[in-house]
Amino acid sequence: MLNEFLKHLFPRVVLRKNLTVSYTFCLGGLAFTAFLLLAASGLLLLCYYQPSPGTAFNSILFLESSVWGGRYLRSLHRLASHCFLVLVFLHTLRVILTGAYRKPRELNWLTGFALLCLAVFSAYTGYLLPMDQLALWATQTGMELVNSSFFDTAVRTILVPDGVGQPMSLLRFYVLHIVFVPLALLLLSLLHFYRIRKNKGVLPYL
Amino acid sequence: MAKPDQSRRKFIGTIILLLAGVFSLGRFLSPNVRQKKTLLSVAKADLPVHGALVYREARVALMREGDVIYALNLVCTHLGCTINVTPTELVCPCHGSSFDRLGRVVRGPADRPLLRYLVEERGDFYEVVV
């Protein structure tokens, strides 16, 4: 059954020209690979992370010192998130420079932009979770930036109801980081991929 | 025998990968939880207000300065001899390093202060925990 599904997922024929690396540089696909890597490593990190201000940092220390492969896995997650952001930005740049946002691909440009924002937001929410000094003050900086926008109170009540680094806001960042943002990323990506085939991206037929 | 059969090789490869994955996951999910070990327990009444109890076998000195209670590891930080506790200072018999009552270095060759153990209060006892 899986094979059947995969057979339908991939196109029957493609143009040789469209498969050359310089056509898209595979940036979107690489970004999605980074996302899958993030999901896998993040799933394992969930086994040790404790989302409360008192225990979060200690759980990270425990993970790094007493768990086999813990430090490796955490580095992998962090590195993959850097790669994800870089790849997503490069992909956006490629789309802009090749004019791929034009008709008939407007919808994909919009979903792509939403994906870009979600990627940044997931990185931002993930940044607070270790609860070290860097995490805390970087998040504080982000929240101060929000202050200068005109919908600041709404954002602050939703994201940090009791201040950066307090129990409730840490929990919200955590839930956003592990459930809502990844889910939205995944669903939008699927739409994104569907539109690629609909817009006859690398396909001569359909 | 028209087609060479690749499925066995693939099967074995998959099994090996699967076993390695399960093994790694098992290692990852079984952390090294350090069990706290009680090195010694001392009745509160035994500890003088400005004094020390020395346990040469366990290489620990339980010290008390009024309300402050701490346990010094009597292993010299120079080369690991057991330190002698005198009323004024702690002296290493091997190379003459000496430490004050808080474990700070007074005279070399040792260059780091003595390590301390955690002291926990349990009922009528002080317990030195590793």
pLDDT by residue (tens digit) across A155-179?
888 888 888 889 999 999 999 999 9
Mutate to test the interface with B, among A50, A67, A76 (most CBs of B within 10 A): A67
Mean pLDDT of A52-75: 93
Q: Is A138 part of a structural domain of the chain? A: yes
| CA–CA separation, A19 and A24 (whole Å) | 8
Residue with tokens 């709404």: A154
CB contact burial A17-55 (16+ within 10 A = b; e otherwise): eeeeeeebeebbebbbebbebbeebbebbeebbebebee
Domain extent, residue A150, equals 25-198
**What residue of B is the nearest CA neighbor of A68?**
B28
pLDDT confidence of residue B117: 82
DSSP reduced 3-state for A12: coil
Indicate yes or no: CB of A62 within 8 angstroms of CB of B31: yes
Mean pLDDT of B114-130: 80
**What residue of A is the nearest CA neighbor of B34?**
A66
Q: Is A1 part of a structural domain of the chain? A: no
Examine the pLDDT at A205 and tell me if it is beyond 60: no
Domain boundaries, chain B: 38-129
Q: Does B34 touch chain A (CB under 8 A)?
A: yes
| CA–CA separation, A184 and A118 (whole Å) | 8
Taking a C-beta distance cutoff of 8 angstroms, is the pair A195, A108 a contact? yes
- The one-character DSSP state at B82 is B
pLDDT confidence of residue B43: 76
Taking a C-beta distance cutoff of 8 angstroms, is the pair B90, B100 a contact? yes
Question: A74-97 pLDDT, tens per residue?
Answer: 999 999 999 999 999 999 999 999
pLDDT confidence of residue A16: 79
DSSP reduced 3-state for A25: coil
What CATH code would you report for B38-129? Answer: 2.102.10.10
pLDDT confidence of residue B1: 56
Residue with tokens 């004050």: B100
Nearest in space to A62 (alpha carbons), one of B11, B44, B33, B52: B33
Q: Is A96 part of a structural domain of the chain? A: yes
> Contacts of residue B21 in chain A, CB cutoff 8 Å?
none
Report chain B's mean pLDDT, rounded to a whole number. Answer: 83
The yes/no answer to whether this complex scores an ipTM above 0.85 is no
Indicate yes or no: CB of A69 within 8 angstroms of CB of B24: yes
Chain A: closest CA distance from residue B36 (Å):
15
Q: Does B32 touch chain A (CB under 8 A)?
A: yes
> Contacts of residue A66 in chain B, CB cutoff 8 Å?
31-34
| CA–CA separation, A111 and A49 (whole Å) | 32
Nearest to B31 among A44, A66, A73 (CB): A66
Give the pLDDT band of residue A206 (cuts 50, 70, 90): very low
> Contacts of residue B32 in chain A, CB cutoff 8 Å?
66-68
Chain B: closest CA distance from residue A185 (Å):
26
Q: Is A14 part of a structural domain of the chain? A: no
Indicate yes or no: CB of B34 within 8 angstroms of CB of A66: yes
For B60, list phi and psi in degrees, rounded to 5: -135, 140
Between A40-49, A153-162, B101-110, the lowest mean confidence (pLDDT) is in B101-110
Give the pLDDT band of residue A51 (cuts 50, 70, 90): very high
For A199, list phi and psi in degrees, rounded to 5: -85, 15
DSSP reduced 3-state for B41: strand
Taking a C-beta distance cutoff of 8 angstroms, is the pair B126, B62 a contact? yes
Domain count, chain A: 1
| CA–CA separation, B85 and B52 (whole Å) | 9
CATH number for the domain spanning A111: value is 1.20.810.10
DSSP reduced 3-state for B75: strand
pLDDT confidence of residue A55: 93
Indicate yes or no: CB of B27 within 8 angstroms of CB of A68: yes
Question: B9-57 pLDDT, tens per residue?
Answer: 889 999 999 999 999 999 999 888 877 777 777 777 777 777 777 877 7
Give the tokens for residue A93. 């740049």
Query: B91: which strand partners?
Result: B84, B98
Between A125-129, B36-40, B72-76, the lowest mean confidence (pLDDT) is in B36-40
